Amino acid sequence: MEPFSSRYWIAHEHPDHRRGAGAVIFRLGDGPSLLLETPHVFFDRGTMDLGIRALEVLDARALLINTVHRNRALMQDGVGTSPAPGVVSPSDAANATPTFFLAAHEALIADGGATLQLHGFRDEKAPQASVIVSSSGTNGRIDIGALRQVVHDGVRVFPEEINMLGALRNVEARACRERKLPFVHVEIAKSLRDELASSDTLQRRFLAALAPVQSPD
């Protein structure tokens, strides 16, 4: 473990012996109990930078980051491949079990709190959407109205407004469902991720709009 910034420390595996154990950035001191996660940073490019920035914007208590490509376990001779339909790569931190990532997630939610997980998708997969938000079967919520003030017509809510990328098989979401804790899964189009990377103001407004809100009883 070592300092990451004045308010955060990072715990990570040795870079010369990377096993996919992930990295965790912890906030020092009191604050919101929000847990941030970026489980596909090599596949969903730009999500790690968004997660790190969200630590500051949302004052989250921790950020959990994967440290190997989601399909690394399927690589042969250094060449990656996508899994066949119905097959989950053992190195996929959001869908495989058991993993170091899931174990860390379960430890970090042991005392409660909401989880916000960031992902990315190709624009052509859902041309009508810039952002897809799902609670993945939990009571997780964000202010969709506030998000639409930033992204406008590109916001879609699963399953009411779109029937894909709802993360119903996400293993961290399942852990939250079992504990009756809020979980919010946010998919961000590649074009929007590029826009966010080029505008500090837009990035801050977007991330602020992702703050989980209290669910009604």
pLDDT score recorded for residue 73: 46
The CATH number for 129's domain is 3.40.630
- pLDDT value at position 88? 58
Report the interhelical angle of 200-208 vs 47-58 (nearest 10°): 70
**How confident is the model over 18-72, as pLDDT tens digits?**
665 678 899 988 888 999 999 887 778 899 999 999 999 999 999 998 876 554 4
Confirm if 64 and 22 have CB atoms less than 8 A apart. Answer: yes
> How many CB atoms sit inside 10 A of residue 115's CB?
27
With respect to residue 216, please indicate whether it lies within any of the assigned structural domains. no
Looking at every residue in the chain, the average pLDDT score rounds to 86
User: pLDDT tens digits, residue range 170-207?
Assistant: 999 999 999 999 999 999 999 999 999 999 999 999 99
Residue 121 belongs to some domain of the structure: yes
195 lies in some domain:
yes
Least confident of 28-32, 117-121, 141-145, 207-211: 28-32
Residue 25 included in any domain: yes
Answer yes or no: is 22 within a domain: yes
130 in any annotated domain: yes
- Nearest-angstrom CA–CA distance, 138 and 214: 12
Q: C-alpha angle with apex 159: 50 to 185, nearest 5 degrees?
A: 20
CA atoms within 13 A on the CB side of 49: 14
Mean pLDDT value across residues 70-92: 53
Number of folded domains that form the chain: 1
| Residue 213 included in any domain | no
Give the residue numbers spanning the domain of 60: 2-208
* Within-domain flag for 215: no
